[in-house]
Chains A and B, each alone.
Chain A
């Protein structure tokens, strides 16, 4: 399963190409300097692409280290989303040999999950300090560190299973009906490509929020409680209404 073959070579080359292309796109978008008062078209495109992650990071950036959290978390989340999305979309290139998505190989998704979990620990260390991060692994639940291991497994297996399963399905259908039907499957495959990249990013964000703000009452909890109060003022929830 883990031997070195042509499939692994294609996957590694594709992953490298995606990484280099993303870095080149980032360099091109920021070329020629940025302006706060008169943003050009390229700057607008870049800011539009990053806005979602900035909003996501702003949700967890409060307290004394606000700017640090915002900077670190935004770059981590944006990197994960863009890399996974670009990797998933490689499956839709209509060239037979090179269209293996890197995320359909377990080594790549395992590396991404390791980056997510250890990145969480590193950001937590940079923000809260090493001692508090280590304490968070064993307190209040002494087996808290086991959840980090299962996070690695579930993150990597989910991404791998989805993308590899979809790729295999299209390949099997292609062997039976080479015309027409694979096109529909490719179009449908765009949805899991987006959703899986989004899910990986959102889960990493929730791990980060958990690691950064586990010892304090976060703003999102308060807003959720407010929404709860608003709901109970209207009437019983649908589940209560049924029973």
Chain B
């Protein structure tokens, strides 16, 4: 029972984190592509800003991955 509970506690955060991070990344990439198609001359700047924004979103998902890995080691 305890192992099952620990496994759930390990798996649920990464699932929720990945789901919400993917939603946020969809928003970022959609806006960036809209901006690039409207203003192709600043596409390079927008791409850089998009990469940095995605990295910051991804960091939150990586935090849940680290928590998951730490809990998974106790299984």
Residues of A within 8 A of B (CB): 1, 154, 157-158, 160-162, 165, 195, 198-199, 202-203, 206, 224, 227, 230-231, 234, 237-239
Contacts of A198 in B (CB 8 A): 51
Contacts of B48 in A (CB 8 A): 202
A-B contact count (CB 8 A): 45
Question: Is the Cβ of A203 less than 8 Å from the Cβ of B52?
Answer: yes
B70 → chain A closest CB, angstroms: 8
Question: Known interface pairs A157-B62, A158-B62, A239-B31. Does A203 touch B55 (Cβ–Cβ under 8 Å)?
Answer: yes
* From B35, B39, B58, contact of A162 by CB (8 A): B58
Question: Is the Cβ of B65 less than 8 Å from the Cβ of A161?
Answer: yes
Q: Does B73 contact A (CB under 8 A)?
A: yes
Pick 30 A–B contacts, CB within 8 A, sort by A: A154-B56, A157-B59, A157-B66, A158-B55, A158-B58, A158-B59, A158-B62, A161-B65, A161-B66, A162-B58, A162-B62, A165-B65, A195-B51, A199-B52, A199-B55, A202-B48, A202-B52, A202-B55, A203-B52, A203-B55, A206-B52, A224-B45, A227-B39, A227-B42, A227-B45, A230-B39, A231-B38, A234-B38, A237-B35, A238-B38
A237 → chain B closest CB, angstroms: 8
Q: Does B20 contact A (CB under 8 A)?
A: no
B42 → chain A closest CB, angstroms: 5
CA distance A45 to B34 in the complex (A): 35
Considering only residues 38-73 of chain B, those with a C-beta below 8 Å from chain A are: 38-39, 42, 45, 48, 51-52, 55-56, 58-59, 62-63, 65-66, 73
CA distance A158 to B65 in the complex (A): 10
Contacts of A1 in B (CB 8 A): 73
Known: A162-B62, A202-B51. 17 other contacts (CB 8 A): A1-B73, A154-B56, A157-B62, A157-B63, A158-B55, A158-B58, A162-B58, A198-B51, A199-B51, A199-B52, A199-B55, A202-B52, A203-B52, A224-B45, A230-B39, A231-B39, A237-B35
A78 → chain B closest CB, angstroms: 17
Contacts of B63 in A (CB 8 A): 157
Residues of B within 8 A of A (CB): 31, 34-35, 38-39, 42, 45, 48, 51-52, 55-56, 58-59, 62-63, 65-66, 73
A109 → chain B closest CB, angstroms: 11
* B62 to chain A: closest residue by CB: A161
A73 → chain B closest CB, angstroms: 16
B61 → chain A closest CB, angstroms: 8
Contacts of B51 in A (CB 8 A): 195, 198-199, 202
* A157 to chain B: closest residue by CB: B62
CA distance A154 to B62 in the complex (A): 9
